[in-house]
Chain A
């Protein structure tokens, strides 16, 4: 390009020229360098702009999910409805389903409106529709946790319907509900009156971080918590399997294995495996772990095994790179004082390579944490309404989802309220990924040694 001399141009004669004046060639070179720098700055600026747009979009759309609209009602927990025999036997109380609680919440709502002196033409049924379909279940869970409350009247914060929530968040307006059969203008009038009364308000929604997914009809009750536990269980499997297998394989390949065509082939194939689309690992997991080994569907254990296969090449490559970066003089020094090969590796090489290995492992884990495609094939993507697992074994074996799979699941549902939750889920996922990467950087800084 600019370095190729133009044969038509006269041959420069630098002798005798002043250093204070740039000759044509120098000017062209400087201009080329200036342009190149400019391209670089423009490229970085575009990149930064994209990143900022992305972050801004995620934050502006997702933060809503961390808030939820609640209405505070005082509910009389009637003994004759909830515990007919009056013996507070938990097994008997559990027999009362949410249908037994629904009239209580409905009555409480009516009482509230009457007490607040709000005029409305709505029928009690339409009033109660402002509450979430999950309200009765909420109350039931509360009572089951504290059966001694039966017989008293409790102040309780009920979730409202996602349309009411959307109205408070600005997603639903009086214009947009024209064709919406879930809510009408009269109901919104009631909402306005309740807001004025102070009993209906938005507040922090911890349930989004700790709760389980909810069905299509109740987006306001959906949470990320159980999917998060599913992801944790998978990361546990990946860490326990991929780290030792990966590190052992790399140490063997790098330090002990003879360099011949077999190890060459293995090496090439490990690099190739790192580039295999993750869905291929998914179908492999389906064939091997579920169809052949008959491990349960949708289990984080299977997800973890699949992600282990996917992460291993990453860990092996980064571990080998960090083993390679340990200067051979250290190995010589150890061998020179009569250490065995294994002693030289474990006493000297491995500690020096540890920061690199840890960083590689964490990056591999972070990659696995954000992986969705292989989970599609082993049944971890979909509506999996599970309760938080009670033990590690259950956490590994019981059907569950994972964070990115949960986000995908919400994003494909029809109700716009789920859309907000998908963005909120992305915020949680990103917080995890950023903190894992930060830990990787910190470890590297902390343990990096110079020699």
Chain B
């Protein structure tokens, strides 16, 4: 049903937000990503699909330098956000991550109150001048996370007490609270049931108004439903990248075709 909507999606080409050239990622001796070149547009949902271990999550984690936290990981090549090389020596990954928010595979709220979960980012980045300001930021973030109505009466209840889907939306609210420009989502629905998944997908579509959203997903249906652009990764290579419609209806590469028709993966 949503597949038909997909065709109606109007792919207007927003300016390029993230440009990656010749990106290689090594874990110790093995190479996880080879020669990835990709341009990710602003205010667009870009989906990374591909079989397990194809490197899509690894590449996603390059965009906010989360791979820095893994000792063995080594990234070469050039990734630019708004024309600035994020692997430049002068770039502090902490500042980068405030600009490039991330939502993880499993909902991981802090074991604190719902309010504190969302307020944490703004607090450490000094985004609020006073309590009222912070309250406003928290409310706005929770509204953008489409969870405000469910939690507004229990902001001081622990975030870990929410259901899985609510926790994931809380994590999205937490990520948007720091006003990032790019939102990375690493299989955000893989731990959720279909109803919660539908809610999160709806939310992703709304987030597109303000952010460049990059989503890694195992589900091709999900990629088709939420994204305007799709990149297919296979064995560390970026095989094909283009408009979601084209990838799913007119794949250029035989490997893409095999994957979306279920023959590999």
A residues in contact (CB < 8 Å) with B: 258-259, 327, 329-340, 343, 347-348, 352, 449-451
Contacts and interface: CB of A to CB of B under 8 A. Distances in A.
Interface class of chain A by DSSP: helix
B110 A348 contact: yes
28 contacts: A259-B71, A327-B108, A329-B106, A330-B110, A330-B111, A332-B102, A332-B108, A333-B110, A334-B110, A335-B69, A336-B64, A336-B103, A336-B104, A337-B98, A337-B120, A337-B121, A337-B177, A337-B178, A338-B94, A338-B121, A338-B124, A339-B94, A339-B120, A339-B121, A339-B124, A449-B111, A450-B160, A451-B111
Contacts of B71: 258-259
Interface residues of B, number: 28
B175 A337 contact: yes
B171 A338 contact: no
Contacts of B64: 336
Given A337-B174, A338-B94, A340-B94, A331 B110 contact: no
B184 to A, nearest CB: 8
B105 to A, nearest CB: 9
Contact of B101 (A329, A336, A339, A340): A336
A335 B70 CA distance: 13
A336 B125 CA distance: 13
Interface string B167-207: 00001001101100000000000000000000000000000
B49 to A, nearest CB: 22
B145 interface: no
A258 B68 CA distance: 12
B66 A336 contact: yes
Contacts of A259: 71
Contacts of A337: 97-98, 101, 120-121, 124, 174-175, 177-178
B5 interface: no
A332 B70 CA distance: 11
Q: Lowest 9 A-B CB distances belong to which pairs?
A: A338-B98, A329-B108, A337-B121, A336-B102, A338-B97, A333-B108, A340-B94, A451-B111, A449-B111
Contacts of B121: 337-339
Contacts of A451: 111, 160
B236 interface: no
A45 B259 CA distance: 62
Interface in B218-260: none
